[in-house]
């Protein structure tokens, strides 16, 4: 195994930490400040008290090497937060940015009707997550493929921008926006070729 590859224990711990920092700090009895930061020492102690023994050294490896750079330290490594993906209302000081003309969203067929009626909604998170390319959108959708064939939408980010929508770019390359109205969405039907049971 390469040094920059997380062990399976580190991957498990990294998932737990992302979940605590994005959704459930109360699960281990800690609080985040309004910018989503947790105190590193307090978090490690609280994790240990709840059965997840993670050393500072391991945490540093998780921050550096987790596949999607989900969590980040402050400058002196006394605080830690998730870069994006929260369901709890914190302001992680996302940077506004001008997106490429087209972005993508990966989901699954069973969501199609609702998405095409209501648009893309943040559901349990603070923002809708959009991908810069089809490959990434396919990976995002792939997380749910047990529940249905994948469905990729092209998002007309250029038109959204023109119409006054705001976009944020998280430091790990995920595009975020409040919602995407159906008018800006186009399903990429060619994705269907990969799935024999698509739209029978």
Rank residues 45 and 136 by Cβ distance to ligand HQG and give the closer one: 136
Shortest spacing between CB 192 and ligand HQG, in angstroms: 17
**Rounded Cα distance, 5 and 9, in Å:** 11
Residue ranges binding ligand HQG (CB under 6 A): 68, 70, 85, 107, 111, 114-115, 118, 120-121, 123-125, 129, 140, 144, 174
Rank residues 38 and 140 by Cβ distance to ligand HQG and give the closer one: 140
Shortest spacing between CB 115 and ligand HQG, in angstroms: 5
Rank residues 49 and 97 by Cβ distance to ligand HQG and give the closer one: 97
- Residue 124 makes CB contacts below 8 A (sequence gap 6+) with 23, 87
Shortest spacing between CB 107 and ligand HQG, in angstroms: 3
Which of 76, 74, 75, 77 has the alpha carbon at shortest distance from 35?
A: 74
Shortest spacing between CB 10 and ligand HQG, in angstroms: 15
Shortest spacing between CB 26 and ligand HQG, in angstroms: 19
Let me know how many helices (H) and strands (E) the chain has, helices first. Answer: 6, 10
- CA 61 and chain centroid, separation: 20
For residues 172-186, one letter each, b for 16 or more C-beta atoms within 10 angstroms of the residue's C-beta and e for the rest, the string is bebbbbeebeeebbe
- CA 53 and chain centroid, separation: 25
Cβ atoms of 80 and 43 closer than 8 Å: yes
Rank residues 41 and 100 by Cβ distance to ligand HQG and give the closer one: 100
Rank residues 29 and 182 by Cβ distance to ligand HQG and give the closer one: 182
């Amino acid at each position: 195994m390469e040094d920059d590859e997380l062990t399976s224990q580190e991957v498990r711990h990294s998932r737990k930490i992302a979940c605590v920092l994005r959704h459930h700090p109360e699960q281990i009895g800690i609080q985040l400040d309004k910018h989503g930061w947790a105190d590193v020492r307090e978090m490690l102690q609280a994790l240990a008290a709840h059965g997840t023994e993670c050393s500072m050294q391991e945490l540093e490896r998780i921050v550096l090497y987790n596949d999607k750079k989900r969590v980040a330290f402050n400058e002196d490594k006394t605080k830690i937060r998730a870069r994006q993906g929260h369901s709890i209302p914190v302001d992680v000081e996302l940077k506004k940015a001008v997106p490429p003309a087209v972005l993508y969203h990966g989901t699954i067929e069973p969501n199609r009707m609702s998405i095409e009626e209501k648009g893309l909604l943040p559901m349990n998170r603070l923002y809708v997550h959009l991908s810069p390319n089809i490959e990434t959108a396919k990976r995002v959708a792939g997380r749910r493929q047990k529940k249905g064939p994948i469905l990729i939408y092209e998002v007309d980010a250029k038109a959204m921008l023109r119409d006054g929508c705001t976009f944020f770019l998280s430091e790990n390359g995920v595009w975020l926006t409040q919602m995407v109205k159906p008018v800006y969405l186009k399903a990429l039907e060619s994705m269907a070729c990969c799935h024999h049971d698509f739209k029978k």
